[in-house]
Chains A and B, each alone.
Chain A
Amino acid sequence: MLKKTEVAMNPSELIGSRPVRPDGVPKVMGLAQYGADYELPGMLWGKVLRSPHAHARIISIDTSRAKALPGVKAVMTAADMPDQAFAYQGPERVQLNFWHMTRNVMAREKVLFVGHPLAAVAATSQAIAAAALDLIDVQYEVLPHVINVEEAMRADAPVLFDNLFTRGVEPVPDKPSNVTRINEIKAGDIDSGFAKADEVVQMSFTTEPVHQGYIEPHAALARWGADGQCEVWSSSQGHFVVRAYTAKLLGLNVSDVVVHPAEIGGGFGGKTVIYLEPLALTLSRLSGHPVKMVMSREEVFQATGPTSGSSMTVKMGVTRDGKIVAADGVFKFQAGAFPGSPVMNAAMCAFSVYDLENARAVSYDVVCNRPKAAAYRAPGSPIAAFAVESVVDELARRIGMDPLELRLKNAVKAGSPTIWGPKHAHDGFRETIEALMNHPAYKAPLGPNQGRGVASGFWFNGGGESTATLHVNEDGSIALATGSMDVGGSRASMAIMAAETLGVPYESVRSTVADTASIGYNFLTGGSRITYATGMAVVQACQKVIEDMRARAAMIWDVDIESVVWQNGAARPADPSVGDFAPLTLKDIAAKRAVTGGPIVAEVAVNAGGQAPGFSTQFCDLEVDPETGAVKILRYVAAQDVGRAIHRSYVEGQIEGGVVQGIGWALNETYIYNDRGQLENPGFLDYRVPVASDLPMIEAVIVEVPNPNHPFGVKGVGEVNIVPVMAAVGNAIRDAVGVRMTALPMSPPAILAALDAEAVSA
């Protein structure tokens, strides 16, 4: 029952072990404090008034009756926050425009989706705050709306923004549209590539938005001091990013805001943005009291996340002996109400596991009257992979080749080209395929209506800015702090890396996450960058401390530093000629710190490059009930190159969790809108994420091809695991019952309809 296939290589005892996490006991006792668990004396409750319309001009907002309600201490609208300049900032793939961001947080001229905030109140109780919302009088001019990406692209579609002119086309269009950006990337020449193909497959696909579905709704507690010094407690994947965005939207200095990292109850990309923080702070400024705001589940579904829905066409060609010679893809993504879907990521990741001379990917970012898309686990890549990996499966069928073998024949390795320019710098993909080829279950026979599907995936993984501080306490124990939110056990992996580097027991390291005033900058916990980049800062801080220890030992022994080495947690003479000195442990040196230079502290900040991408290959066995169209997952095996597993259990947990999110996306999860643009399933009853009884044990196969750029070989692990899942499930359905599903979710009615259509045409 409990299966773990391990392609292991663990030279040390701690790296790759499974110690209990430092934050574990408070979490199992119910004592850990998440976003909604904080409170302050004199605190008020804040609530948000949200748009009932998908698209409407705001004529007026009258808050006077709400303000007059006893117990109401403040009412705000967007007029209580400064407006922002219209400008795109930052790297192309992830550009920000604060004109959009402030409007997402609170509508100004228009409401752009059902659930769009347009006013907020703070009151002495939740009940009074809710009653006050009903007393706010808003006059709207309701406008026609558009929900779907293809419709939003039509020339006669209702346009969301008069100032939105498609970027990336020459000459710049003279009419506004909903297409915010068009981008093309290519390598080689696809026409000559397709000319060499024996088989060409072209298919079109659609996917629906899915929500990250973290169990913890967004929450924020904020206090605006009379001196302008602000504090925020909220759950996020990056409290430094919360600080930056909040300060920017409120016109504050970054140093005026301190953000305390609450424990985070899941994020998956969806807590890299802000919703409540600027509202709670503004209400606090207006009322003079701390203000707490917590979203309901309905608000979470209506107005946060999800990831994009899409419409895609992919065409690929293969020779009879299994060489993929050309690939072409068009990817159109819903951005939601404001620009910025992950479609460029999708285009870049789409063909990135294949060694292709000729490939092209065109991407369209399109606004429509839905909540603004937020990042979700390898943002963009799973959507593209659903299309590409389905086509690759068809190619394998056309030429009669095992789908793993076809992938292996075309797999990238270090030196292979990418469609966006630089060559791949790392291996690890082929190894994931080989791990499955050698898996005992891969050739196991299947029963009637059962099928096996294979798919692969790519994700860049991240590096970037991180800071760590290390303090050796007087008894030799270690206080370790980073500024990286722990979303999946990173306190434990930081402690493991520190203990391993220093040569001390894991238990002697106290691993914590510091607030924004107590440590240097850390970019957010996303892009699978923490164990890599923050881990690098931790290891370097340990190395600095080791240097310091050697210097202090040298001082105690009156020798020079070169004569001292650090081994197994102690300073030792480099060789017998140095003298007959007993080793000085961390504890021995710490006890003498006052006479050897004072506190033993190191702080290291990195801007880590050199991250290695994530590769995953997976297979899924499932059974389709031809009577109902229901799919039962029988077995799921996911092989992922993680470079080196630091905390083995949490690496497995990431893979298992990512796969299960993908299974939900494949089979059930979807946003359902009615013709008025209202979300019809804003709750866990109707937006159905997988539950324990839907699933078998997910088998995580850990492949370890170390990353030479990290002291322990780490590659990011949190994201690529979701990339292949929808295609693997779709390919398995194709294998089981002969129908190719090209739209997500592959729910029972959809499968039944496809089976019926197949029966009619046969």
Chain B
Amino acid sequence: MAKHHVSTTINGEPVEFLCDTSQTLLDVLRNELDMTGTKEGCGTGDCGACSVTLDGELVCSCLVLGAEANGKAVQTIEGMAAGSELHPLQRKFLEHAGLQCGICTPGILMAARELLKHNPDPTEEQVRYWLAGNLCRCTGYNKIIEAVLDAAREMRGESHA
């Protein structure tokens, strides 16, 4: 099988890879590029565990072909912290116990970051609807929502509530 050559940037770094035409971006990230922070929960676009951004747009990487990343910028969970300095969302998830098993966490963090880019001051309901595509089976969502709202407050420069 001839492989496709793909040039892309991932978390700001230029990356080139070869992939089959049928390989998903999720598969490429995890199995060709050893970036296993992006998780697979369903492979069918129903759980949100594999959320990444492609040219700034939130996508399920299990529904995107690796070849589609050609010439585009991919952001994954591995690029969320600045070096070893956590993003406020990552810190708030830890402080609020917004993860139990943690398998949904990378996808939820990616989705939440996109929400706060679009809407820095979301209501609880807006957070719930925005994250409706990200399943979490452990937490019952309370602490995830609390963490996102608190991170939003901090990012807006408001003091602790």
Q: Which residue of A lies closest to B37 (CB)?
A: A30
The minimal Cβ–Cβ distance linking B124 to chain A, given in whole angstroms, is 6
B140 contacts A653, C-beta separation under 8 Å = yes
**At the interface with chain B, which of A383-391, A583-591, A689-697?**
A689-697
**At the interface with chain A, which of B65-73, B94-102, B152-160?**
B94-102
The minimal Cβ–Cβ distance linking B62 to chain A, given in whole angstroms, is 10
> A217–B140 Cα gap in the complex (Å)?
19
A297 contacts B41, C-beta separation under 8 Å = yes
Main secondary structure of the interface of B (DSSP, over half): loop
Residues of B within 8 A of A18 (CB): 97
Residues of A within 8 A of B36 (CB): 30, 33-34, 36-37
B140 contacts A698, C-beta separation under 8 Å = yes
The minimal Cβ–Cβ distance linking A493 to chain B, given in whole angstroms, is 12
Knowing A30-B77, A685-B44, the reply to whether A657 touches B100 (Cβ < 8 A) is yes
Residues of A within 8 A of B1 (CB): 127
B146 contacts A266, C-beta separation under 8 Å = no
The minimal Cβ–Cβ distance linking B119 to chain A, given in whole angstroms, is 15
Knowing A18-B97, A29-B77, the reply to whether A268 touches B127 (Cβ < 8 A) is no
B38 contacts A683, C-beta separation under 8 Å = no
Residues of B within 8 A of A691 (CB): 131-135
Q: Mark B93-111, 1 if CB is under 8 A from A, else 0.
A: 1111101111111100100
B103 contacts A660, C-beta separation under 8 Å = no
Knowing A215-B41, A693-B132, the reply to whether A653 touches B22 (Cβ < 8 A) is no
Report, as a range, how many residues of chain B touch the other chain: 35 or more
B135 contacts A297, C-beta separation under 8 Å = no
> A697–B138 Cα gap in the complex (Å)?
14
Q: Which residue of B lies closest to A688 (CB)?
A: B46
B99 contacts A28, C-beta separation under 8 Å = yes
The minimal Cβ–Cβ distance linking B53 to chain A, given in whole angstroms, is 14
B46 contacts A683, C-beta separation under 8 Å = yes
> A263–B101 Cα gap in the complex (Å)?
8
> A217–B49 Cα gap in the complex (Å)?
12
Q: Which residue of A lies closest to B97 (CB)?
A: A649
Determine which of B30, B86, B101 lies in contact with A265 in the assembled complex, contact meaning CB atoms within 8 Å: B101
Residues of A within 8 A of B76 (CB): 30
A215 contacts B49, C-beta separation under 8 Å = yes
> A652–B100 Cα gap in the complex (Å)?
11
Residues of A within 8 A of B28 (CB): none
The minimal Cβ–Cβ distance linking A213 to chain B, given in whole angstroms, is 5
Q: Mark A620-661, 1 if CB is under 8 A from B, else 0.
A: 000000000000000000000000000101101110111111
Knowing A27-B99, A653-B97, the reply to whether A684 touches B47 (Cβ < 8 A) is yes
Given A18-B97, A267-B101, A684-B46, 10 extra CB contacts under 8 A: A28-B106, A215-B135, A264-B101, A266-B138, A653-B142, A684-B47, A692-B134, A692-B136, A694-B132, A695-B140
Interface, chain A (partner B; CB < 8 A): 1-2, 18, 20-21, 23-25, 27-34, 36-37, 39, 126-127, 212-217, 263-268, 294, 296-297, 487-489, 647, 649-650, 652-654, 656-661, 683-685, 689, 691-695, 697-698
Q: Lowest 9 CB-CB distances: which A-B pairs, in order?
A: A30-B37, A265-B103, A656-B140, A649-B97, A30-B77, A27-B102, A684-B46, A660-B140, A37-B36
A-B contact pairs, 28 of them (CB 8 A): A18-B97, A20-B94, A24-B99, A27-B99, A28-B106, A29-B80, A29-B81, A29-B90, A30-B38, A34-B36, A39-B34, A215-B41, A294-B40, A297-B46, A654-B100, A656-B142, A657-B139, A658-B140, A684-B44, A684-B47, A689-B137, A691-B133, A691-B135, A692-B131, A692-B144, A693-B131, A694-B132, A697-B145
